[in-house]
Chains A and B, each alone.
Chain A
Amino acid sequence: MSDAKKFMYINRKAPYGTIYAWESLEVVLIGAAFDQEVSLAFVDDGVYQLMKGQDTTEVGIKNFSPTYAALGDYDVNKIYIEKESLEARGLTLDDLQHLVWEDEDEDWAEKDSIRVVTSAELAEIFEQQDITLSF
């Protein structure tokens, strides 16, 4: 793992108005096959991507929100939500999917993947990354 790079995928847009959210998720899933250290951040309207109870029947696009729950299987378990973005939209953590991962070393114990962080904390996390991709 010594040459693993830290990848940060920043998601800024609402899920269905553009292709960015789905493209980002696909890149994350593909990239996760390469044993890198992957983190995701959801800021601005990007927090809507993780909303519970999405229904896309009226817009005629596949509802890909269930796919976020597979991230744990792909060893993607560092998911940061910006606190200010949530609050500005009147949302709380309860409005979002509960994403978990299973720790194989601890008999598949379920652990939370999502961490709510302030903008200042997120800036520090961004600082530690090798590669940042913004969607």
Chain B
Amino acid sequence: MAAIEVDGKSFEVDEEGYLEDLTTWVPEIAGVMAKLDDAELTDAHWEVINFLREYYEEYQIAPAVRVLTKAIGKKLGKDKGNSKYLYELFPYGPGKQACKYAGLPKPTGCV
């Protein structure tokens, strides 16, 4: 089992780097995961990550990219609710990459 180190604590992740137990998530995990991808998290990233965590909390699923894009547009404005904006923030795919940092499972429907 792979693991990542965050502030001296070890967190188990699956072979694709997703957190095994989403209840163990702390915000610092996102930063460490981003560093592994050579990315740095800005407020704009956090808006999306926090949105995903709230979505999961309410519906118990990570939304598909299409649903995420629409919902972000509604909540944060049309200039953010489009694939271009989201892919610039998360070049590995807004669903996959942002969900990973948020400690969520891979979105349902992502293969």
B94 adjacent to chain A (CB < 8 Å): no
* Cβ–Cβ contact B66 & A70, under 8 A: no
A135 adjacent to chain B (CB < 8 Å): no
Stretch of B1-9, B38-46, B57-65 with 4 or more beta carbons under 8 angstroms from chain A: B57-65
Nearest residue (CB) in A for B61 is A67
A74 adjacent to chain B (CB < 8 Å): yes
Picked from A33, A62, A64, A69, the residue with its CB within 8 Å of the CB of B64 is A33
* Residues on B with beta carbons closer than 8 Å to the beta carbon of A70: 59, 61, 63, 67
Nearest residue (CB) in A for B107 is A29
- Give, as a whole number of angstroms, the nearest-CB distance from A19 to chain B: 15
A62 in contact with B109 given A33-B66, A74-B67 (CB within 8 Å): no
A62 in contact with B60 given A29-B108, A29-B109, A33-B109 (CB within 8 Å): yes
User: How many chain B residues touch A (Cβ–Cβ < 8 Å)?
Assistant: 13
* Cβ–Cβ contact A30 & B58, under 8 A: no
Q: Give CA–CA (A104, B71) in the complex, Å.
A: 11
B74 adjacent to chain A (CB < 8 Å): yes
A55 adjacent to chain B (CB < 8 Å): no
B interface residues (Cβ-Cβ under 8 A, vs A) = 58-61, 63-64, 66-67, 70-71, 74, 108-109
The 10 closest A-B pairs by CB, nearest first: A70-B59, A30-B109, A73-B67, A66-B60, A29-B108, A67-B60, A67-B61, A33-B109, A66-B59, A67-B59
Q: List 14 A-B contacts (CB under 8 A).
A: A29-B64, A29-B108, A29-B109, A30-B108, A63-B60, A64-B60, A66-B59, A66-B60, A67-B59, A70-B63, A73-B63, A73-B71, A74-B64, A104-B70
20 more CB-based (< 8 A) A-B contacts, given A30-B108, A32-B64, A70-B63: A29-B61, A29-B64, A33-B64, A33-B66, A33-B109, A63-B60, A64-B60, A67-B59, A67-B60, A67-B61, A69-B58, A69-B59, A70-B59, A70-B61, A70-B67, A73-B70, A73-B71, A74-B67, A104-B70, A108-B74
